[in-house]
Each structure stands twice: as structure tokens, then as C-alpha cells.
Copies of this chain bind each other. A is one copy, B any other.
């Protein structure tokens, strides 16, 4: 293998350098690649397009960063769940063309929801900037968090609530939360209203950012694995109008993503 008289293929060689670079750093911008590999950006762009077409890397909407596609590697390692962002990304892009407001994809963590992807850069409006990837959202005060809590298994819900319950929780406040979640579950989508008394991360910020938000869970295999929301400025007309207009699209998108994740976990190996 090592010794061979023939020359190597330079274009392939450099392309593989890019691939390896993307794989080692988990997320990388064009500019970072540029200064790491000393290749002109134009060249990098063409290589990334090629790698993308072959399904080896993908570009996150949230920040345009290039990420490795784990699929080929973990072939058969189950859990396409780790790829939700990658799988959801194209659906969120499509969603951005159907509705006028940006969305965020969130996944549950121990005591918060984490943003994995957002299509907000696709909107021109400066009011549309949603937190970058990695931002932590409250389970209690955000539509995203409530959508997950309402959809998840009871034992999981209990565990999360227990984790968030303040020492000095007002009597009855926990029942209020449960009532909110029950209503959310019945309604089929979550809102950041009504207000709930417990403190939790960035509660104040949520309260006064002047936005409204609705969210639904993404289900796969009977369990919620993520959520997707829609955020719009509060001043924008009546909330009911917005919600009526876009709820269906949001739910359809969530279902489509859930189906795609289930498909990947099951038989197909994608592309």
C-alpha cells in the first residue's frame, strides 16, 4: 500500500484533508477551514459541496457551520437520534418557505432544552434572530420546554419536575404546572403562556423579549425525541391569527421529521 510508483490524486488528497478536518473538529466554519488548511475559500467551497453531495458533510442552517455526517461511520449503530439536527435541517428549511417566522429545534437535556438547529438566519428580519446552537431553554417557561414535558412519559416528566422544583415552591404551584401540561397535551401544541411562578433559567428574559412562541414535540418510536417551535414578535397582530395560520404546517413538519428519524433508525441507511 505505502510504496507505489504511481502518483497520488491531488484533488482527492486535498478533499480528504477537508473531510478529516471536518470530522475531527465537530463543527467548522469555512473561514476556519481556510486558515487551517491554507486553501482558498473558493476551492474549499467546491470541495464541501462535493462532500455534501456524497452525504459526508452537511451544513447547519443555524450558523452555516459544516458538520460531519455520522451515518456512514455508525452504520448500524442504531440511534439516528443523534442525527436529528441533520435530519431535521432540510425540513426546517422547507418550513421557512411556508411560514413567515423562524423555528428552533430543541432536544431535552438534564434540566433544560438545548437548541440544536434553527432556520432563523433564513429570515431577513432582525427580530427573527433566535439564540445560536447550544442555547439552553427553560423547561417551564418556554413553549419548547412545555411541548416536551407534555409529550414525554410520565416517569420522565416527574423526574424533570422534581429536578426543577424550588425548595420554597408555593403550595399548589406544582399542581398548576401539571394542569398547564395537561392542557398542553390535550391541545396538541404548547405555548409559553400562561405564566408559572417557579424560577428557572432565563425566566426574566423570556418574559420580556416581546415574543410569542408555540411548539410541538417530534415523536419517534412513540416517544418525544425533540421539539420544534415557531417564534414571532408579540406586537404582530393577533396571536390567534398567526397560530391558526401556521399550526398545521408546524405539526406536519414535526411529523415528517419524526418519520424520517424512525426510518433511518430502522431499515434504510440514508442515501
> A residues near B, CB below 8 A?
1-2, 4, 6-17, 20, 23, 42, 45-47, 49-54, 56, 58-59, 72-75, 90
CB distance from A74 to the nearest CB of B (A): 7
Q: Can you tell how many copies of this chain the complex includes?
A: 2
A23 proximity list for chain B (CB < 8 A): 72, 75
Task: State whether A51 and B2 are in contact (beta carbons under 8 Å apart), knowing that A73-B72, A74-B73 are contacts in the complex.
Answer: no
Nearest-CB residue, chain B, relative to A269: B24
Task: Please provide the 8 A-B residue pairs with the shortest distance between their CB atoms, ordered closest to farther.
Answer: A73-B73, A11-B11, A12-B15, A8-B50, A1-B59, A1-B52, A16-B54, A9-B50
Residues on B with beta carbons closer than 8 Å to the beta carbon of A4? 45, 49
Query: Chain B contacts of A13 at CB under 8 A?
Result: 50, 53-54
Given contacts A2-B52, A8-B49, A15-B15, 7 further A-B contacts (CB under 8 A): A6-B49, A8-B46, A8-B50, A10-B11, A11-B15, A12-B50, A73-B74
A46→B9 contact, CB < 8 A? yes
Residue contact A51 to B16, C-beta cutoff 8 Å: yes
Tell me the complex Cα distance, A45–B8, Å: 9
11 residue pairs of the A-B complex, CB under 8 angstroms, read A1-B58, A1-B59, A2-B53, A6-B42, A6-B45, A6-B46, A9-B50, A12-B12, A13-B53, A73-B73, A73-B75
Query: Within the complex, what minimum Cβ distance (angstroms) separates A23 from chain B?
Result: 6
* Known A11-B11, A45-B4: A16·B50 in contact at CB below 8 Å: yes
- Minimal Cβ-Cβ distance residue in B for A43: B9
Q: Are A53 and B8 in contact (CB under 8 A)?
A: yes
Q: B54, A20: Cβ atoms under 8 Å?
A: yes
Q: A72-B23, A72-B73, A73-B72 are in contact. Are A47 and B12 (CB under 8 A)?
A: yes
Cα distance A4–B73 when bound, in Å? Answer: 26
